[in-house]
Chain A
Amino acid sequence: MSSFTLLVTSAPFSQQNAYSAYRFALAAVQSKHTVNGIFFYQSGTLNGSSLQITPSDEFDLYAAWQTLSKEFQVPLMVCVSAASKRGITTADDARDSDNPHFSLASPFESVGLGELAVLINNSDRLIQF
């Protein structure tokens, strides 16, 4: 059995990458491999926006990430600096910058790049999408 870190640097829907990352993560945990964490960086941080409203006849990737995280205890980590400048902010950060809105919520976590280093260090493989 192998352990993986997934690095998602692509926005949802712009390309297939984020969806592929989700399918890979699901396949890995269903096959009894371990996904130590999914790290969202650059435009990939947009996957963490809780303000997404998916048309009812389309695949809801945001809901799928949440279900994956809850069912298989997969941490969803979002780089705080990459996210903040794209409008992906936690309630705490929004309050600190006097912004009335926030868009990042559990199970997505706001973390620093150091968490990516730890994930990679603890995994057999790093896969970027």
Chain B
Amino acid sequence: MLRERLRGLIQSGSPGLPAAGEPGIVPAPVRASRPEDFVSRHSNGLDQFFSYIKGESALSILDLAGVNQANVSFITNLGHRIYSEDFLRSLQLADNGDALPRVDTFLSQNLTHADGAFDGVLVWDVLEYLSAPLLAATVERLHRIVKPGSYLLAVFQAHEKAQSVPQYSFRIQDSKTLLVADRGLRKPEQIFNNRSLEKLFQEFESLKFFLARDKLREVIVRR
């Protein structure tokens, strides 16, 4: 009974975003990626992201998809500080099996940074797996913790009707190239199109979309 009541509290949230799959904010676990799973792909979004910070040093970059050697090495070799949060894994850890984590409770322990703390955020595909209320709260928090004029890179599936889509692991190979591994199919909490993404990031200054042949939509968002 308590779990159902909490589920109802968590599900009530921002209108206008279609939901897909089962409700709830706890994502299903996916398999770990092996080195041989990674495929190299050119990334216009990544290219834009790093071109915007080219020539700068000692920036603070937030990576929301957890730590990996490639991303840490690349960003620190540019002379920047990297801050890592494994947002989806933290959600899994917050699920103690008895009650779903509330949005406000979860965000009181995650993404707790000062306003304007970051000069850039690598969101990757994290936002696709958040329920509507957590998604709205997370985007609002990102708006607050990123410096004005800074950029976010997010990746979304372009399959607007798919019930299950691959969840990816992203590794930076160089400023224009990503190594991407398919970690298994997963039901996204949201399916986005350009219009819904514009609405999602309506508090930000601008969006730029890049659609690739592998049906991944890369979005550069300017704060």
Do A and B interact?
A: no
User: Which A residues lie at the B interface, using CB under 8 A?
Assistant: none
